[in-house]
A and B are shown apart, each in its own frame.
Chain A
Amino acid sequence: MSDTIEPVVIEKVRHVGKAVDGDTELTPDTPLLERQLLDSVELLQLVMELESAFGISIPLEELVEENFADVNRVVALVERARERAA
Chain B
Amino acid sequence: MSRIVDDLIARAQAAGDEAALAWKDGAIPGRRFWDGVAGRAESLSRSGVAQGDRVAIWLPKGPATVETLFAVMINGAIAVPIDPGFPAARATAVLGEIGPAMLVTDGKRRDMLAGGAVERSRVVVTDAMEGSEPGGDPLARKAIGEDDPAMILMTSGSTGTPKGIVLTHGNLAAFSDWAIGQFGLTREDRFFSLAPLHFDLSLLDVLTSQRLGASVYLVGETEALFPGPVAMALERQRATVFYSVPTTLQRLLSHGGLADRDLGALRWLLFAGEVFPAPVLAALMEAVPEPGYANLYGPTETNVVSCKLLDAAPELGEKPNVGLPCPHSDISIRDEHGNKLATGETGEICVAGPTVTQGYWRRPDLTASAFSDAPDRLYHTGDYGYFDEAGDLRYLGRRDRQAKLRGYRVELEEVELTAMDTGLVEGAAATVADGALCLHVVAHDPKAFAPSALTRALAERLPRYALPDRVEMHEAFPTTSSGKVDMQALAECAGGTDA
Contact = CB atoms under 8 A, between A and B. Distances in A.
A61 to B, nearest CB: 6
B453 A36 contact: no
A65 B255 contact: no
Given A18-B459, A21-B452, A23-B456, A43 B225 contact: yes
A36 B465 CA distance: 12
A48 to B, nearest CB: 10
A interface bracket (residues with beta carbon within 8 Å of B): 20 to 34
B226 A21 contact: no
Q: How large is the interface on B (under 10, 10 to 19, 20 to 34, 35 or more residues)?
A: 20 to 34
B455 A33 contact: no
Contact of A64 (B221, B228, B455, B499): B228
Interface in A1-37: 15, 18-24, 33-34, 36
Interface string B313-342: 000000000000000000000000000000
Contacts of A40: 224-227, 251
Interface string B457-468: 001000011011
Contacts of B229: 64-65
A44 interface: yes
Contact of A18 (B221, B223, B450, B499): B499
A6 to B, nearest CB: 21
A20 B453 CA distance: 9
A63 B222 CA distance: 12
B225 A39 contact: yes
Contact of A21 (B223, B257, B456): B456
Nearest to B451: A21
B256 A60 contact: yes
A60 B255 contact: yes
Contacts of A44: 251, 255
A61 B228 contact: yes
Nearest to B467: A18
B134 to A, nearest CB: 31
Contacts of A20: 456
A41 interface: yes
Nearest to A19: B459
Nearest to B24: A65
B222 A18 contact: no
A43 to B, nearest CB: 6
A63 B227 contact: yes
| Most-contacted residue by chain B among A15, A20, A34, A41 (CB, 10 A) | A41
Contact of A41 (B228, B406, B468): B406
A19 B453 CA distance: 9
Contacts of B96: none
B218 to A, nearest CB: 16
A68 to B, nearest CB: 8
Interface in B416-456: 450, 452-453, 455-456
A65 B467 contact: no
Interface in A53-81: 60-61, 63-65
B223 A65 contact: yes
Contacts of B224: 40
Nearest to B230: A40
A15 B464 CA distance: 15
A18 B455 contact: yes
B16 interface: no
A40 B256 CA distance: 12
Given A18-B459, A18-B499, A36-B85, A60 B228 contact: yes
A18 B464 contact: yes
Contacts of B223: 65
A15 B465 CA distance: 17
Contacts of A61: 228
B455 A21 contact: yes
A42 to B, nearest CB: 9
A20 B452 CA distance: 8
A34 B223 CA distance: 11
A19 B257 CA distance: 28
A26 to B, nearest CB: 13
A41 B223 CA distance: 14
14 contacts: A18-B455, A18-B469, A18-B499, A19-B456, A21-B452, A21-B453, A21-B455, A38-B225, A40-B225, A44-B251, A44-B255, A60-B257, A63-B255, A64-B226
Interface of B: 85, 221-229, 251, 255-257, 406, 450, 452-453, 455-456, 459, 464-465, 467-469, 498-499
